[in-house]
Amino acid sequence: TPSGILFSRITLPIMCKNKMPEGVFNLVIGTNEEIAETLVNDTRVPLISATGSTNMGRKVSAKVASRLGRSILELGGNNAIIVTESADLKIAIPGIVFGSVGTCGQRCTTTRRIIIHDSIYDDVKNQLVQAYSQLENRVGDPLDSDTLIGPMIDEVAVKTFRNALKAIREQGGEIIYGGDILDGYPSELYVRPSLAEVENHWPIVQEETFAPLLYLIRCQDFDEALRLQNDVPQGLSSAVFTRDFQESEKFLSHEGSDCGLANVNIGTSGAEIGGAFGGEKDTGGGRESGSDAWKAYMRRQTNTINYSSDLPLAQGVNFDLG
């Protein structure tokens, strides 16, 4: 991407200024066979950090592990927001909408599922439909400052989006907003952000669909909401909107979210700080940023130095050679 090229141009002079070996940092673009296969199989590369799908991560992990190398994996997410009975909808609705349609739903931390308490379900649903309808005129060129939603990345992504909508209908769900391609745009990469009423256990809901497609799921209480949130293979980002202190504490405890990122009264996307970023389960377990990141890229070595003229032995062992 252009940002990758720019980052490379910024970094290379810094490396040279600090007298790092030429070529220690490179941006290399090529096919999977040309680049990825070579890197993951090369024993001279002790650590591979890979970002992508869960299927990609399984292949990379297996190949790197077969040569006893190390890997950091940042894989798929199926991120949920729990909206409790006490939630402040003035901040919850904007947080949900930004998390679900920002970057046209093409972030690993994009909000995929909303788990809503039954008592406020209809209210949240209606507010989301209204908010989504107001976005119609904010889809367009991502370089335009008035644009809130840009295009899908390519035709394959649009096909995945369409297939997901078809699967929702086949599995018994209802598309309550969107579900089509927008007319009057330069290409068919511009889609209408969509809302669907579903059940959490359906196969399509268990998958990550990299698109502006948000699932609405009903729950009866907070414990059920936690079970539904955790009942997917992925475990990247999660959030809860609540004004109940006990609910927020439980969400952050060992009984709560099983994700690598757990947020309270802020969405799943855009809240990333300088802390350890990554997830559990099918998300891969890797961490970037924060204190964990630099440690993962280091080679650990334990040193013992004897400054005396005697030879002390471990555990006070006496090994007298006479």
DSSP string, 172-211: T-EEEE--SBPSSSSSTT-B--EEEE--TTSHHHHS---S
Closest Cα to residue 177, out of 228, 246, 126, 141? Answer: 126
Of 108, 207, 208, 247, the active-site residue reads 108
Residue 219 annotated to the active site: no
C-beta separation of 49 from 71 below 8 A: yes
Which alpha helices (DSSP H) does 182-297 contain, by range?
A: 203-206, 222-230, 245-252, 290-296
The torsion region of residue 305 among left (phi > 0), alpha (psi -120 to 50) and beta comes to beta
Tokens of 132: 């989504």
C-beta separation of 118 from 169 below 8 A: no
Tokens of 322: 């006479």
Gap between the Cα atoms of 82 and 116, Å rounded: 6
C-beta separation of 111 from 267 below 8 A: yes
Residue 170 annotated to the active site: no
C-beta separation of 280 from 120 below 8 A: no
Of 74, 207, 208, 247, the active-site residue reads 74
Q: Return the active site residues.
A: 74, 108
